A and B are shown apart, each in its own frame.
Chain A
Amino acid sequence: MIILQKKHEHKNHYKQIIEQDFLEENIRNGSILSISQWREAKHIVQEQKIDVAVEFSSNACSLSDKDEISKAAMVQINFETFKDGRPFTFAKMLRKKHNFKGELRATGHVLPDQFIFLIRCGFDSVEIKEEDRDIWLELLEIDEGLYYQP
């Protein structure tokens, strides 16, 4: 898998913490936490000034102001299916309502045909198979700049 950040490709620096290993000392730079793990551990993240990601599933995209999501370095939304459009609205909410300024990443079942939609809703990057790179870039190019909304 590779990470495509618009047209730039790089390696994934983030890693999931397996449930049974979820201990304070195991949280480090690049850990991916679930929202409940984040709620438990966000004070440590802030004290130690480390960069972690918080992961949501497309069918559980919800947050409250108390979650202080703006303090996470990355938010990752895993699409259970590309047909679930909730993450597009959630991305808008993260940016506009929760003031999240970090990296916003899509993973899971996403189609290259949705790349421009993701970017325009506030996503920065997407995790894809390496062999799919060309089609993702090709479709981004077809669509780029051709839309009506601000």
Chain B
Amino acid sequence: MYKYSDTDKKIIASRVKQFENQVNRRLEGKLTEEEFKPLRLMNGLYLQLHAYMLRVAIPYGELSSKQLRKIAFIADKYDRGYGHFTTRQNIQFNWPKLLDIPEILHELSLVDMHAIQTSGNCIRNISSDHLAGLTLNEIEDPRPWCEIIRKWSTFHPEFSFLPRKFKIAVIGCTKDRAAMMVHDIGLRIIKRKNQVGFEIFVGGGQGRTPIIGKKIRDFLPKKDILNYLEAILTTYNQEGRRDNIYKARIKILVKELGIEKFRSLVEENFSKLSNKELEIDDKSIKEIFGFFRLPPLKPNTNQMPFKKNQEYQYWINQNVIPHKIQGYSIVQISLKAPKKPPGDATSNQMRALAEISDKFSFSEIRVTHEQNLVLPHVSNKELFNLWNQLKIQNLATPNLGLITDTICCPGMDYCALATARSIPISQKISSHFNNYLKQEEIGNLKIKISGCINACGHHHVGNIGILGLDRKGQEFYQITLGGSAKEDAAIGEIVGPSFSKNDLIDAIEKILNTYKKHKINKSDDFLSVFRRIGIKEFKKDLYDNFTKKA
């Protein structure tokens, strides 16, 4: 893991001081709410439906046990004993007081954490593949690049007041586990003629105008990455629309100009404005890679232990994948236990996990964009022992990648923007499909639920997407089919008129029946079937004779 330098520590500490100053000026009336809002947002602080909400950055989803303990401490002392992991690998507290925020930030700074740029119209926390550095087919570990970009983007003097928020994701292999194609900038590390560099996508995004990113560069030598990012941001900051908040994201600029024109503006800025000092030399690359070396794992021939315990075997089957070092496993921890809000963890669970990661996974924990956690390096022979300890904490739900492993935004239970609730929908789904074998038979299926058109619950890229709407004061849910956030990224298609809360499960069952009817074999998953037969079949089965349709 990355270790903070003295400079990092000083920067974070000065930020705490600065924010304290801002809060005091706000309380004394020297800053109006209009002026304070962008400043607090840049520090991760929202005002939500019931209270303030503080979003804490977990750069590229990587946490130490010490940091997780601090998060648990903050949840208990300043909040209501829990936190919510987000789709950008961060964590949110739902109930902090404005007066306490400087103190919370100070506590975070003691473990090298902060809330910088987790919101606001600036470059947000950089996100990445939660399996970075753990799999065999990787060209290069993306985390060191995330760290390089994190530093460059933190308090960037030129890009802190952009037209709108700006999200960057970096991945290191052809598999996309970071929804890279729906980011403002997506970077994929590739190899060409034995040279490693970046393939660059721009203008992807979700929200009310979902768009898959367009390729702007086939290949960029890695030393130039910061100069190229500056060229894109320079173009966006100058040309991006500021007249209409809904048209202010870079995706709209790219769409309006066309990728060719946009590329030519970027390339011109890249060639004219590039700064020698932003080039990254081999020495600093090597230095930063040094932080991300694997812990001392010893390859061995231990297999994942078999036990005559069905629940454990389900869990092994569903949540555990092999590590690139033989004899070790990557353990994925579902935060989608039945009846629990997706992505939530209590302070007790966090403390237990910190303990568990100290014992079994070199004190490392990862956060996934699908709102789950990962223990990255677990020795195979410890798996059963580990499972027992996770189970006590309700952290051993065997549903990774299955229908009850939903992505879900906080919805109208917490969010001031939401038009409908989303957590109760996810809970309905998890109760209805609780049975593991039933889920396993359905197979890979991503349901993603958003409580409004802003799409924080990624519904556009769900295999089944659910969007909560307000229809004359009633909650209704629109279904989209065929979306994907992976390397085959696609935006889902609306299947038809929306459903009431009570009809929704029935509708999902019908959609699954259509799928089952056309499924050829076990590996023929929902998305493959959808792509083969198209939305028409689903539509027909769903709405013909559907008397209660809205």
Query: Which of A84, A113, A118, A148 sits near B18, CB closer than 8 Å?
Result: A113
Do the beta carbons of B157 and A117 come within 8 Å of each other? yes
Do the beta carbons of A142 and B157 come within 8 Å of each other? no
Residue of A83, A97, A135 ringed by the most chain B CB atoms within 10 A? A83
Do the beta carbons of B162 and A85 come within 8 Å of each other? yes
Known interface pairs A139-B18, A139-B21, A142-B21. Does A88 touch B157 (Cβ–Cβ under 8 Å)?
Answer: yes
Do the beta carbons of B151 and A85 come within 8 Å of each other? no
Q: What is the CA–CA distance of A83 and B160 in the complex, to the nearest angstrom?
A: 9
Do the beta carbons of A85 and B156 come within 8 Å of each other? no
Known interface pairs A82-B35, A83-B38, A96-B273. Does A148 touch B238 (Cβ–Cβ under 8 Å)?
Answer: no
Do the beta carbons of B238 and A116 come within 8 Å of each other? no
Known interface pairs A83-B38, A85-B161, A96-B273. Does A148 touch B151 (Cβ–Cβ under 8 Å)?
Answer: yes
Known interface pairs A96-B273, A148-B151. Does A116 touch B10 (Cβ–Cβ under 8 Å)?
Answer: no
Q: Counting CB contacts under 8 A, is B541 at the interface?
A: no
Residue of B10, B154, B157, B160 ringed by the most chain A CB atoms within 10 A? B157
A 67-99 to B, binary, CB cutoff 8 A, 1 in contact else 0:
000000000000000111110111010001100
Residue of A114, A135, A146 ringed by the most chain B CB atoms within 10 A? A146
Q: What is the CA–CA distance of A6 and B35 in the complex, to the nearest angstrom?
A: 23
* A-facing residues in B149-165 (Cβ within 8 Å): 151-152, 154-163
Q: Counting CB contacts under 8 A, is B174 at the interface?
A: no
Q: Counting CB contacts under 8 A, is A121 at the interface?
A: yes
Q: What is the CA–CA distance of A142 and B22 in the complex, to the nearest angstrom?
A: 12
Residue of A89, A90, A111 ringed by the most chain B CB atoms within 10 A? A89
B 213-250 to A, binary, CB cutoff 8 A, 1 in contact else 0:
00000000000000000000010011000100000000
Q: How far is the CB of B259 from chain A (nearest CB, A)?
A: 21
B 277-288 to A, binary, CB cutoff 8 A, 1 in contact else 0:
110000000000
Q: How far is the CB of A145 from chain B (nearest CB, A)?
A: 9
Known interface pairs A97-B273, A113-B39, A146-B11. Does A88 touch B158 (Cβ–Cβ under 8 Å)?
Answer: yes
Query: Which of A83, A84, A116 sits near B157, CB closer than 8 Å?
Result: A116
Do the beta carbons of B161 and A83 come within 8 Å of each other? yes
Q: What is the CA–CA distance of A83 and B121 in the complex, to the nearest angstrom?
A: 9
Q: What is the CA–CA distance of A118 and B158 in the complex, to the nearest angstrom?
A: 8
Known interface pairs A148-B154, A148-B155. Does A143 touch B14 (Cβ–Cβ under 8 Å)?
Answer: yes
A 29-71 to B, binary, CB cutoff 8 A, 1 in contact else 0:
0000000000000000000000000000001010000000000
* A-facing residues in B5-24 (Cβ within 8 Å): 7, 10-11, 14, 17-18, 21-22
Closest to B22 in A: A113
Do the beta carbons of A147 and B155 come within 8 Å of each other? yes
By a CB distance below 8 angstroms, the chain B residues around A90 are 238
Known interface pairs A84-B242, A85-B159. Does A148 touch B35 (Cβ–Cβ under 8 Å)?
Answer: no
Do the beta carbons of B161 and A142 come within 8 Å of each other? no
By a CB distance below 8 angstroms, the chain A residues around B238 are 61, 86, 89-90
Q: How far is the CB of A82 from chain B (nearest CB, A)?
A: 7
* B-facing residues in A14-28 (Cβ within 8 Å): none
Query: Which of A84, A96, A146, A150 sits near B10, CB closer than 8 Å?
Result: A146
Closest to B276 in A: A150
* Contact-residue size bin, chain B (C-beta under 8 Å from the other chain): 35 or more
Residue of A86, A121, A135, A139 ringed by the most chain B CB atoms within 10 A? A86
Known interface pairs A83-B161, A88-B161, A92-B158. Does A147 touch B273 (Cβ–Cβ under 8 Å)?
Answer: no
Q: Counting CB contacts under 8 A, is B532 at the interface?
A: no
Q: Counting CB contacts under 8 A, is A7 at the interface?
A: no
Which secondary structure dominates where chain B touches chain A? helix
Q: Counting CB contacts under 8 A, is B272 at the interface?
A: yes
Closest to B161 in A: A85
Q: Counting CB contacts under 8 A, is A10 at the interface?
A: no
Q: What is the CA–CA distance of A118 and B278 in the complex, to the nearest angstrom?
A: 19
Do the beta carbons of A86 and B237 come within 8 Å of each other? yes
By a CB distance below 8 angstroms, the chain A residues around B35 are 82, 111
* A-facing residues in B261-280 (Cβ within 8 Å): 272-273, 275, 277-278
Do the beta carbons of A120 and B21 come within 8 Å of each other? no
Residue of B17, B31, B161, B238 ringed by the most chain A CB atoms within 10 A? B161
By a CB distance below 8 angstroms, the chain B residues around A111 are 31, 35, 39
Q: How far is the CB of A62 from chain B (nearest CB, A)?
A: 8
Residue of A82, A117, A149 ringed by the most chain B CB atoms within 10 A? A149
Q: How far is the CB of B216 from chain A (nearest CB, A)?
A: 19
Known interface pairs A111-B35, A138-B21, A142-B18. Does A120 touch B273 (Cβ–Cβ under 8 Å)?
Answer: no
Do the beta carbons of B14 and A85 come within 8 Å of each other? no
Q: How far is the CB of A112 from chain B (nearest CB, A)?
A: 9
Q: What is the CA–CA distance of A84 and B155 in the complex, to the nearest angstrom?
A: 16
By a CB distance below 8 angstroms, the chain B residues around A135 are 25, 30
Q: What is the CA–CA distance of A88 and B151 in the complex, to the nearest angstrom?
A: 19
Do the beta carbons of A92 and B273 come within 8 Å of each other? yes
Q: What is the CA–CA distance of A32 and B103 in the complex, to the nearest angstrom?
A: 46
Q: How far is the CB of B110 from chain A (nearest CB, A)?
A: 18
Q: What is the CA–CA distance of A28 and B163 in the complex, to the nearest angstrom?
A: 38
Closest to B237 in A: A89
Q: What is the CA–CA distance of A63 and B10 in the complex, to the nearest angstrom?
A: 39
Name 13 extra pairs, CB < 8 A, besides A82-B35, A146-B10.
A84-B242, A88-B158, A89-B237, A97-B273, A111-B31, A116-B157, A117-B155, A120-B157, A147-B11, A148-B7, A149-B156, A149-B278, A150-B277
A-B contact pairs, 24 of them (CB 8 A): A59-B242, A82-B38, A85-B121, A85-B162, A85-B163, A86-B242, A88-B159, A88-B160, A88-B161, A88-B237, A111-B31, A114-B161, A117-B155, A135-B25, A138-B21, A142-B18, A146-B7, A146-B11, A147-B154, A148-B151, A148-B152, A149-B152, A150-B275, A150-B277
Q: Which residues of B contact A (CB under 8 A)?
A: 7, 10-11, 14, 17-18, 21-22, 25, 30-31, 35, 38-39, 121, 151-152, 154-163, 234, 237-238, 242, 272-273, 275, 277-278
- Ordered nearest first, which 7 A-B pairs have the shortest CB separation? A85-B161, A150-B277, A120-B157, A117-B157, A148-B151, A88-B158, A89-B237
